[in-house]
Amino acid sequence: MRNFIIVGHKATTTPNFSLEDIPGTSGRLDILCRAVTAAFVLSHGIRKDVCVHLILLGGEIPKTIRLVGETLRHLNPDERTTAALLKKALALPAAAEWAMSTSGIFVRTGGLAEVLADLKDAKLIYLREDGADIRSLDAGGLSGDAAFILGDHTGMTPEEESLIEQAGARVVSLGSTSLHADHCVVLLNWLLDTNVLMQG
Ligand SMILES: C[S@@+](CC[C@H](N)C(=O)[O-])C[C@H]1O[C@@H](n2cnc3c(N)ncnc32)[C@H](O)[C@@H]1O
């Protein structure tokens, strides 16, 4: 399973945003919507072996939305449709247990610490511009369950960095040029699809 964790520091935890102006009214949920598209959407279909965890920190209490490729329905390539699906999930009552919104989309309260605990058995890879070159990872380092952790336009806070470090993540780079999170996701999917990493 490929897991992508994207942290939205200002991303709203309520459904009170406008689909006519997603960036301006949702705390940049548009960044997370694009990451969802990059993670799942193929030319003709949805990747089944992908799970995306969106950490929304722009409200009173953090929320996490999980999208599971195996059962995901109604996802289209456009940002507005994705935002509408997230809006529905955010309209559910907040609780610590996962609640299903639409097929393959779940929501609960809690943030990065809880998701890292859920994924404690996965190989954790934290994407950061100054990390080790991803090409130095051997393919075995990414076989099995892998979880890639990415920030938003504000990067990651020192507290989050220390959580990620304590969870045992490797810090890996796609080059020194700072890219958009969704573009990183496309590159990661390509790297895993094409098996170009060194065979360890
Ligand atoms: C737009 S970038 C963040 C920009 C910048 N780090 C900052 O502090 O504002 C969003 C996320 O994509 C990932 N990222 C962007 N470029 C990267 C690169 N060249 N290598 C690895 N990860 C990258 C990181 O996880 C980053 O937090």
Domain 1-194 has CATH 3.40.1280.10: yes
**Å from CA of 175 to ligand 1 middle:** 10
Provide the pairing of β-strand 99-100 with 63-68. Answer: unpaired
pLDDT of residue 91: 98
**Å from CA of 23 to ligand 1 middle:** 18
171 Cβ inside 6 Å of ligand 1: no
- Decide: pTM greater than 0.85: yes
Residues 10, 12: Cα–Cα separation, whole Å: 6
Residues 159, 141: Cα–Cα separation, whole Å: 26
- Neighbour tally for 140: CB within 10 Å: 12
CA–chain centroid gap for 10, Å, is 15
Confidence of residue 98 (pLDDT cuts 50, 70, 90): very high
pLDDT of residue 199: 56
183 Cβ inside 6 Å of ligand 1: no
Nearest residue to 172 via CA among 127, 136, 107: 127
Q: Is the pLDDT of residue 142 over 90?
A: no
Pocket test for ligand 1, best of 184, 186, 187, 191 (most atoms within 8 A of CB): 184
How large a percentage of the chain has pLDDT more than 70?
A: 96
Query: What digits encode the pLDDT tens for the residues 27-50?
Result: 999 999 999 999 999 999 999 999
Tell me the one-letter amino acid at 29. L
